[in-house]
């Protein structure tokens, strides 16, 4: 083809928006026919062309409403083009237009075949076996509505780096995100890591239907092979709905879409006691709605605003949420616990950890940690927000106060601003950028992760492993899978000050054990968490090769007709 980036348009996978309603109103299509058409389309998409043809012919012989019959003829013509029989395809597209002159898909396809002399020439010669038409990159669109750059949020960093490293792996990537100043989202204060497109909204246009329309329009202009839906909390099912017809993945960086209250299923009672909620809105939507009503004040203003934007709290929203999960090519969860929770509600769930840029943590073969030996204070590092209750700094501080009564050979370094009266054992170094943080971690002896919430992965814990440092973390959420207890660090019972103090005591007394754990952590980092590892082990399986060979028998050259 003279322009191999232009795919032939078909209706495979689903009826175009609007067509279904028109045909249903005429009485020509029943729910049974819709189901049979969907089965035929899915067979075609999966490359089972003889079975798809048989289904299409059965429908064509039974139902003769002009618009529907033209759609079937267009799909059969597309299958002929897939087989390389372009002359037959042109005839059948012409038949579809004689049946229904308003069949847009058939008109576009016919124009494309007639206009492309190279295709006609190849159709006449038709070498055996069919030679590749071209080689093009697999296109991946990443869509998000809650994105700023730079960011310290793990999910946002993951979104940005997904685009960057998929691009470096050879995929053609475009990140499409929303920009709405009233919410403070869409700021791009540094160069994006991947090719990006900002969709700018104002107060008048910031509503769900318009957001869906604008994202669909932007994605259609890129015509990707796959769409990854990220950074959108409770709005995720609405973005997925806008991507209908594309092969899309739902990326969960935390427990968004499971916990509408705070994304981590953390409950705080009237006495300030915390607990992890066992429920989630896919399984128990009524209970979750009541929880949100009762605990609305425990959510931040952005959580409250985006729930309203998403239409959360209605039966319609619950239906859209389930549809989004059922329709996804796969749901990408960060840890096995979240994956198991979602698995009854999706056709495929994959555990795909966040990737990490190994260049931030350079390593040499003979590297070891020599800064902490006899007579030196060991450094404990808390890299988080001290004022964010769920991060558990108050638990760590209490454990250190207890230890300080019996030993004074440690220092707690905190990435935050110092209070007026800091503890004697604390040193506050201010907030650290992503560029500064690796050096701070490498200068420490033990990284502390005392969260009381169900962190999905524990980004700082993985970064400690990348720097070859052991971790002491809460035995909760994804940290149970990130930190191998006794091998790369130690786990303690969430919120248990005595247990945390004992674990710190153990590692303070054993510098050699710290080094062993640090080296084991580095090995796990290289094997499972670098972007090369994540792409090779996960994304390449989900997305296929970065370069897609377009042959006469390759459905990758075709896409949906989207009105």
Omega before residue 129 within 30° of 0, cis: yes
CB 547 within 8 A of CB 136: yes
Q: Please say if the pLDDT value at position 483 is more than 90.
A: yes
Domains in the chain, ordered, with CATH? Answer: 8-135+552-560 (1.25.40), 139-352 (3.40.50.2000), 362-530 (3.40.50.2000)
- What is the C-alpha to C-alpha distance for residues 492 and 95, in angstroms, rounded to an integer? 70
Mean pLDDT of all residues in 304-329: 95
Mean pLDDT of all residues in 224-234: 94
Q: What digits encode the pLDDT tens for the residues 491-515?
A: 999 999 999 999 999 999 999 999 9
> pLDDT band at residue 48, thresholds of 50, 70 and 90?
confident
> pLDDT band at residue 73, thresholds of 50, 70 and 90?
confident
Q: Please say if the pLDDT value at position 302 is more than 80.
A: yes
> pLDDT band at residue 32, thresholds of 50, 70 and 90?
low
- What is the C-alpha to C-alpha distance for residues 398 and 154, in angstroms, rounded to an integer? 27
Place of tokens 């580095």: 522
Residue-averaged pLDDT of the chain: 84
Q: What digits encode the pLDDT tens for the residues 392-428?
A: 999 999 999 999 999 999 999 999 898 989 999 999 9
Mean pLDDT of all residues in 332-337: 93
Q: What digits encode the pLDDT tens for the residues 132-149?
A: 445 678 999 999 999 999
Q: What digits encode the pLDDT tens for the residues 519-558?
A: 999 999 999 999 999 999 999 999 999 987 654 444 434 4
Q: What digits encode the pLDDT tens for the residues 349-401?
A: 999 999 999 999 988 755 555 544 555 789 999 998 888 888 999 999 999 99
pLDDT of residue 46: 66
> pLDDT band at residue 126, thresholds of 50, 70 and 90?
very low
Least confident of 41-50, 249-258, 317-326, 422-431: 41-50
- What is the C-alpha to C-alpha distance for residues 180 and 412, in angstroms, rounded to an integer? 39
CB 480 within 8 A of CB 491: yes
Provide, rounded to the nearest whole percent, the portion of the chain with pLDDT above 90. Answer: 58
- What is the C-alpha to C-alpha distance for residues 475 and 457, in angstroms, rounded to an integer? 12
Bridge partners for 448 per DSSP:
472
Place of tokens 């109103």: 25
Strand, coil or helix: 475: coil
- Tell me how far the alpha carbon of residue 119 is from its chain's centroid: 38
Q: What is the token pair recorded at 204?
A: 């008048």
Return all residues near 320 (Cβ < 8 A) that are at least 6 apart: 237, 238, 241, 311
- What is the C-alpha to C-alpha distance for residues 449 and 431, in angstroms, rounded to an integer? 16
pLDDT of residue 136: 77
């Amino acid at each position: 083809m003279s322009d191999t980036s232009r795919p032939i348009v078909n209706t495979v996978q689903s009826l175009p928006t609007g067509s279904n309603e028109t045909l249903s109103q005429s009485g020509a299509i029943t729910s049974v026919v819709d189901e049979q058409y969907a089965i035929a389309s899915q067979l075609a998409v999966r490359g089972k062309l003889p079975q798809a043809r048989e289904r299409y012919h059965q429908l064509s012989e039974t139902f003769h409403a002009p618009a529907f019959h033209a759609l079937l003829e267009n799909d059969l013509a597309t299958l002929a083009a897939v087989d390389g029989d372009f002359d037959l395809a042109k005839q059948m597209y012409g038949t579809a237009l004689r049946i229904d002159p308003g069949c847009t898909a058939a008109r576009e396809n016919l124009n494309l075949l007639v206009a492309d002399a190279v295709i006609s020439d190849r159709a006449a010669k038709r070498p055996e076996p069919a030679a590749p038409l071209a080689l093009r990159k697999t296109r991946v669109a990443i869509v998000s509505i809650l994105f700023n750059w730079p960011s310290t949020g793990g999910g946002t960093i993951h979104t940005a780096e997904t685009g960057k490293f998929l691009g470096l792996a050879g995929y053609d990537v475009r990140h499409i995100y929303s920009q709405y100043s009233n919410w403070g989202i869409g700021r791009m204060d540094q160069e994006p890591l991947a090719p990006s497109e900002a969709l700018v909204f104002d107060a008048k246009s910031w509503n769900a239907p318009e957001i869906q329309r604008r994202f669909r329009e932007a994605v259609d202009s890129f015509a990707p092979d796959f769409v990854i839906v990220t950074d959108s909390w409770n709005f995720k099912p609405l973005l997925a709905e806008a991507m209908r017809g594309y092969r899309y993945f739902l990326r969960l960086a935390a427990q968004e879409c499971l916990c509408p209250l705070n994304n981590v299923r953390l409950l705080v009672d009237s006495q300030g006691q915390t607990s992890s909620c066992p429920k989630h809105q896919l399984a128990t939507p009524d209970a979750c709605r009541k929880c949100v009503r009762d605990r609305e004040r425990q959510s931040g203003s952005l959580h409250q605003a985006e729930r309203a934007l998403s239409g959360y709290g209605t039966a319609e929203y619950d239906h859209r949420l389930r549809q989004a999960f059922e329709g996804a090519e796969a749901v990408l969860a960060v840890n096995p616990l979240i994956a198991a929770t979602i698995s009854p509600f999706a056709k495929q769930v994959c555990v795909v950890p966040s990737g990490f840029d190994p260049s931030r943590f350079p390593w040499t073969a003979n590297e070891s940690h020599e800064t902490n030996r006899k007579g030196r204070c060991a450094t404990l590092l808390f890299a988080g927000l001290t004022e964010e209750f769920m991060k558990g700094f108050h638990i760590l501080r209490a454990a250190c106060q207890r230890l300080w009564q019996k030993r004074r050979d440690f220092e707690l370094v905190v990435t935050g601003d110092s209070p007026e009266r800091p503890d004697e054992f604390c040193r506050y170094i201010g907030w650290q950028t992503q560029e500064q943080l690796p050096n701070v971690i490498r200068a420490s002896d033990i990284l502390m992760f005392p969260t009381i919430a169900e962190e999905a992965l524990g980004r700082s814990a993985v970064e400690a492993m990348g720097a070859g440092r052991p971790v002491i973390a809460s035995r909760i959420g994804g940290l149970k899978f990130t930190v191998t207890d006794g091998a790369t660090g130690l786990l303690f019972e969430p919120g248990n000050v005595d247990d945390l103090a004992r674990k710190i005591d153990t590692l303070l007394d054993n510098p050699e054990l710290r080094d062993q754990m640090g080296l084991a952590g580095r090995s796990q980092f290289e094997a499972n968490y670098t972007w090369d590892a994540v792409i090779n082990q996960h994304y390449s399986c989900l997305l296929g090769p970065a370069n897609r060979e377009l042959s006469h028998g390759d459905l990758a050259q075709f896409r949906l007709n989207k009105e």
